[in-house]
Copies of this chain bind each other. A is one copy, B any other.
Amino acid sequence: MGGFILIDRFTNTTVAAGLLHFALRRAENIHWQAVEVDKNARAGLKGQRPALVWFTGLSGAGKSTIANLVEKKLHLQGFHTYMLDGDNVRHGLNKDLGFTEADRVENIRRVAEVAKLMVDGGLIVLASFISPFRAERQLARDLMGEEEFIEVYVDTPLAVYAKARRGELPHFTGIDSPYEPPESPELHLDASGTVPAETSAELVIVHLRQAGILTAPSEG
């Protein structure tokens, strides 16, 4: 591409300016017009298979801690991620929603839809939400393509859960409502406190690698 200006030969002032568009390389244009910028193209540029990694579990179980560690590890390996959680969703997109059951369901529905757009954008999306209902996690799963949804159950053992419900663990919030554990999550993490978050994060990475998420389709 080149620029040009037109100068009046009598007054010597610039009367016009413009850009030359491919005047000398028309043949090159034909190639790119055939390219479709779709999910595959966007993911291919990033060297990964896009997916939604959905962390579910009780408040305080360690979902966000583990998800954050996973994001750090993926980022350092050059993968393109995004983390969706209450922090960046409740204050923006979903700030019109409260905490009634209907609003909680709508909260998760919108998160799932946004995640779908981001997966379409080629990203590996990490979502960290209590998401207590099977139906809402199923909704998220159904929105995604085959093998694009990875449910990670951050499992607080019943004993810890019971303590929390009795109010003995004040940092556990929001468990006055029921939690329906996943029946067949892609990954089941022990959040009893005996397994370090670092190890749990590494297990997620191993799973993502085995699932083919961390290899570009063209490299597979």
Binding site for B on A (CB under 8 A): 1, 19, 21, 32-33, 35, 37, 41-42, 45-46, 68, 71-73, 75-76, 78, 80-84, 88-89, 92-93, 110, 113-114, 116-118, 120-123, 143, 198-199, 202-203, 206
Q: Within the complex, what minimum Cβ distance (angstroms) separates A44 from chain B?
A: 10
Report yes or no: B93 in contact with A110, Cβ–Cβ below 8 A: yes
How far, in Å, is A171 (CB) from chain B's closest CB?
A: 22
CA of A60 to CA of B68 in the docked complex: distance in angstroms? 43
Q: Which residue of B lies closest to A91 (CB)?
A: B113
Asked whether, in the complex, the Cβ of B117 is within 8 Å of the Cβ of A88, the reply is: yes
Known: A113-B93, A117-B93. A37 touches B83 (CB 8 A): yes
Which residue of B has the minimal Cβ distance to A82?
B121
Decide if A121 touches B118 in the complex (CB within 8 Å).
yes
Give 13 A-B pairs besides A82-B117, A89-B117 with Cβ atoms closer than 8 angstroms. A19-B199, A19-B202, A21-B198, A33-B72, A37-B72, A37-B83, A42-B82, A45-B78, A82-B118, A88-B117, A92-B116, A93-B110, A121-B121
